[in-house]
Structure 1
Amino acid sequence: MTANAILQAACEQFAVKGFEGASLAGIAQAVGIRKQSIATYYPRKEDLFMAAFHEMARHYYDFLEQLYHQISDNPVEMKLREIVYRNYYYKLEQPVLTAFYKMAVQFPPPFFKELLEEQIALMEQRSAKLYRAIFEQGMSTGVIRQQQADSLLPAFYCLLDGIAMQMFFYGQEEFERRLADIWEIFWAGIKQS
């Protein structure tokens, strides 16, 4: 229980203050424990940061796998659209994890720069399996134009990443109008004519 509380508080601190600005004392205070107690679970601040990053990634993987099972019987266009929209809603519903990820990726602590590339590659490997299967299903059924699935993946990641950035600039109602247009243009670009 305490380890989970420490991770939650760490995610919040790292999300708002970054690695350098977050303090073990602040994290301990948020949990209601002494600073030294954190070392029982995480000997160094770097260990805590890595554990928080892995927890954030695990939470997102769980969301993605659950989503994939929920949409497994949907037509290809609806599967991809649901992934786009539910990713957006996930980010709205998980503001701390979203902000932590954004901070970690945009302003990685020095010790984390090389590890970040490895972590992003691992995250993409897991999600790419799901997305590639949908693209291949779409091409095999004639819904998506024939092309390399591995060429569609970076475009889809850019779409998801762009949405994640754009959503910070607009209110929800305005952004949802934009999101409808974004989706229509993306789908028009990959579907079979």
Structure 2
Amino acid sequence: MSTKNKIIEAATHLFAEKGYEGMTIKLIASEVGVTPPAVYAFFKSKEDVFLHIYKGILRDHLKITSGTNQRHQKNSAKEQLDDMLNQVIEFQLKEAMQMKIYVRLMLFPPGFLEEDLKAQLREVEKQEQELLSDIFKRGMENGEIKQGDPHELATLMICVMDGLFWQMQRYEEATFKQHFQVIWDQFWRGIKN
């Protein structure tokens, strides 16, 4: 692993455990086994390291949802949505540290980043909205989903996904998966034709 990647990994771990204030260049350097000037050889500042981490998390999340859609456009709307939700959930369960960072970002964003973070999250949600709207629209066109406004269904689906995310933070995996199945079954019953 390159020194730059080691720095990112150490900073990610420190932010997840100690928050932004606890993630210092000195601690990052110590975790990697280099001096602080070596960190500055790759990043301009602590803020620069942090921006790299948080933009990577948002990019990874969007990559999962858009990648699922590209792979399964010929499948039914239900299959596409099932796959997308399961991919996102499995990623979130597997990547506990990234999710810890995401929760910290949502609840305690560093002051210098708060407006940018909100703008970035709105952009990710906009892209998810478009992707989901397309799935719902195709599902309506092929008679699988009740006629309605695909953008409103996409908004509803994003709210469901947000709720599932917070459920995941509160419950152990088996209980969460039971809740997920109930929620997803009820959601689908409400929209299917």
Q: Same fold (TM over 0.5)?
A: yes
Q: Which runs of 4+ in 1 moved over 6 A?
A: none
- 1:154 aligned to 2:147? no
The match for 2:166 is 165
> Hey, what's the Cα distance between the residues in 1 that align with 2:52 and 2:78?
36
Indicate the SS of the match to 1:179.
Answer: helix
> Hey, what's the Cα distance between the residues in 2 that align with 1:27 and 1:90?
26
Q: Which has the higher contact order (CA 8 A, sep 6+)?
A: 1
Q: Which amino acid aligns with 1:104?
A: L
Report the count of equivalent residues: 192
The match for 2:117 is 116
Deviations 1:79-114 (A, max 9, x none): 112212221111011111111111111110111111
The match for 1:127 is 128
TM-score by length of 1: 0.92
- 1:53 aligned to 2:47? no
Unaligned 5+ runs, structure 2: none
Indicate the SS of the match to 2:170.
Answer: coil
Aligned-pair RMSD on alpha carbons?
1.6
What are the within-5 Å matches in structure 2 for residues 27-46 of structure 1? 27-46=28-47
> Hey, what's the Cα distance between the residues in 2 that align with 1:18 and 1:163?
24
The match for 2:79 is 78
Residues 15 and 96, structure 1, Cα contact 8 Å, conserved in 2: yes
The match for 1:15 is 16
Q: Which amino acid aligns with 2:16?
A: A
Indicate the SS of the match to 2:88.
Answer: helix
> Hey, what's the Cα distance between the residues in 2 that align with 1:99 and 1:39?
26
- 1:107 aligned to 2:108? yes
Indicate the SS of the match to 1:168.
Answer: helix
- 1:63 aligned to 2:72? no
Unaligned 5+ runs, structure 1: none
